Every structure is written in structure tokens, then in C-alpha cells.
Amino acid sequence: MRTALYQLDAFAGSLFRGNPAAVMPMGRFPDDATLQSLAAENNLAETAFLVPQGSDYRLRWFTPTTEVALCGHATLASATVVMERLEPDRKSVTFHSASGPLAVVRESTAYVMDFPVRTSAPVDTPAELVAALGLTPLEVFADAGNYLVRLESPRAVRALTPDFAALARLDRWGVIVTATGKGHGDGGSRDDDCYDFVSRYFAPAKGIPEDPVTGSAHCALAHYWAPRLDKTDFLAHQASKRGGDVTCRLRGDRVQLEGRCVFYLEGQVEF
């Protein structure tokens, strides 16, 4: 079987920024073991596999170790591949996924994705989480998959050096850490004043020690920050080493995520 392979930097305006994703368009999905092997071979945080479904596409995402139910940056990369390589006259596309239909619209310089909101609730701070992070958060929220941890400042978010092995043993897949920007904290970087909030995301249990820019995490972050900042539109920054900006708009039970992609690699895979 032969298929195209694209690698893009998502949520980035230039190469070597944002979050790399592989996109593999196919006529049909091979068996799950093959999809997992391809994702492991690509060795990126996410590989997106898409096949035609009527005038739309079916989309699945795999980390190097497991399939996931939602991935923002690989969806953004998939939309870019569809509308800039496969069907360049298209202005929108809908992907059918484990998280339902995901619509993406092409704007003049970016793409806008429509995702389901992720709600979380306050929980008592687990001692294991404190040990893994090496600090005590201001507060902790949780949903079925992630802890959402608020720290005192962007500087604390950037300086965090968690114990990845301990994070992988938690009872959640991943941990989002966040703090306000725009002068609400002590900065950490003068650029943080440009953002409503900053974050990082760790998911060693899914084979991703730290994800560079995480669209799905912002579906939770937009919901978390809306009542605290008294607004629904945000400019956010994920403060990984590569870094990336995400425009978020909370619209009821949906979140619009806006970003750009840059092509890095285009080729063919035979397996």
C-alpha cells in the first residue's frame, strides 16, 4: 500500500515553531495495528489518518503509542492538507471523528476549527500530583482525561520541570498547567503580557512527555478562563520550547480555535 505523507508545523507562522503533525490521506484505513505502527514510525506527537467519506473525510489520530479521541493541531494540519493540496478550491471541510463532526473553515491567513468544549470541575489536590509537579497549585480542576492546574504566574508555568515518570502514574492521561497573562501574574517573559493566558501540556502516559501546542487542551482552557477573565475570546500561548499561539472563542458548548500551518515535508510511504 502506498500513501502520501505530509508533515506540517501547526499553530505556527514559520518553520520549527508550533506543533509538528504528520498527515496521511488514504483510500481506506488499514488495520489498527498498522495505523499504530505508522504513527510510531513517524514518531511525532500525533499522526492524522484521513479517508474520504462522501464529500467529507473520516479522521483518526494516533500518538506513537495509542489512538486518541481528539487532537487539535493534527486536525488543523489535516485541514491545511485538504484545502491546500488535495482540494485547493475548497474553503471548508468537515471531519467525522470519535469526537463527532469537526468543521474547519479557511480564512484569509488562517483556519478556524469548531470543537466541542471540555468542561472540568474542581477537585481536591492529589498528593501524587503535587509530588509530580514539585509544587502546590493554586487550584486543580479535572475532567475524565486531564487535570487542569492553575499556577501563580506565567513564570511559574515556564519554569516548571515535572517528574514525567510520576505524571505517567497519575489517574489521568495528562496535565494542563496554566496561568493568566496580561500583567495578572509576574510575567516570566515580557511577551506574556500580550496573552490572556499561557499554558503547557504534559501527557507521558500517552507517549508525549510535553506536547508543544495542544488544541484540545484549549477546549478546556477557554471554558476554565471565561468566568475568571469575564470574556469569551482569548489570545493564548502554549509556552513549550517550540511555542505556539492559539486564538480561542468560546461559543456555548463549542470552542473555535484559530491557527496557521507551515508545510515542512511532503513525500510517499510504502508499507
Residue 108: CA count within 13 A, CB half-sphere: 0
Q: Which of 41, 46, 67, 270 is catalytic?
A: 46
> What HEC string does the chain produce?
CEEEEEEEEECCCCCCCCEEEEEEECCCCCCHHHHHHHHHHHCCCEEEEEEEECCEEEEEEECCCCEECCCHHHHHHHHHHHHHHHCCCCCEEEEEECCEEEEEEECCCCEEEEEECCCCEECCCCHHHHHHHCCCCCEEEECCCEEEEECCCHHHHHHCCCCHHHHHCCCCCEEEEEEECCCCCCCCCHHHHHCCEEEEEEEHHHCEEEECCCHHHHHHHHHHHHHHHCCCEEEEEECCCCCEEEEEEEECCEEEEEECEEEEEEEEEEC
Please give the Cα distance from 207 to 168 (Å, whole number). Answer: 9
- Active-site annotation holds for 87: no
- Active-site positions read 46
